[in-house]
Amino acid sequence: MTLRKYPRVHVPSPFQLSFTRVEVPVSFSGDTEGNGVVSNLSMKGCKVESDATVEPGDHVSLSLKLPGDESPLVVELATVRWTEERSFGLEFISMWPAAETRLRQLVHAIGERPSEATR
């Protein structure tokens, strides 16, 4: 039984993203930008593999470099929900309707692909 409202799909060919912190505290001394690779994706968030230092509660804006697309998909606001070694989870808070449509199409397309186990 899953408690997730939106199904999560494993990204068979991880793609890159870049992010910029939003509302950086005055006392913050780390990087305000970073890069990573998306390995898990849903309509409401993703898992990111990255060397960037983030903390739960940090707010970021994202630019997702989707496979086969020239223009990035922009998530206006996301929140870091968890961190673990070199990965962290993001919850998407705000994106334009066109970006949400593109994301829905991608998640659906990935979910329709046969998994490695069924090949």
What CATH number corresponds to the domain at position 85? Answer: 2.40.10.220
Dist. CA 12–CA 113, nearest whole Å: 9
Cβ density class 73-82: b for 16+ within 10 Å, e for less: bebeebbbee
Answer yes or no: is 3 within a domain.
no
Answer yes or no: is 119 within a domain.
no
Q: What is the pLDDT of residues 24-62, one digit of tens each?
A: 555 555 566 888 999 899 999 999 999 888 889 989 999
Tally of domains within the chain: 1
Answer yes or no: is 62 within a domain.
yes
Using CB atoms within 10 A of its CB, is residue 37 exposed (0-12), middle (13-18) or buried (19+)? middle
Using CB atoms within 10 A of its CB, is residue 2 exposed (0-12), middle (13-18) or buried (19+)? exposed
Answer with the residue of higher pLDDT: 22 or 118.
22
Dist. CA 15–CA 2, nearest whole Å: 26
pLDDT given at position 2: 52
Instruction: Give 83's strand partners.
Output: 88
Domain hosting residue 85, numbered range: 9-114
Using CB atoms within 10 A of its CB, is residue 35 exposed (0-12), middle (13-18) or buried (19+)? middle
Q: What is the pLDDT of residues 105-116, one digit of tens each?
A: 988 888 776 554
Answer yes or no: is 73 within a domain.
yes
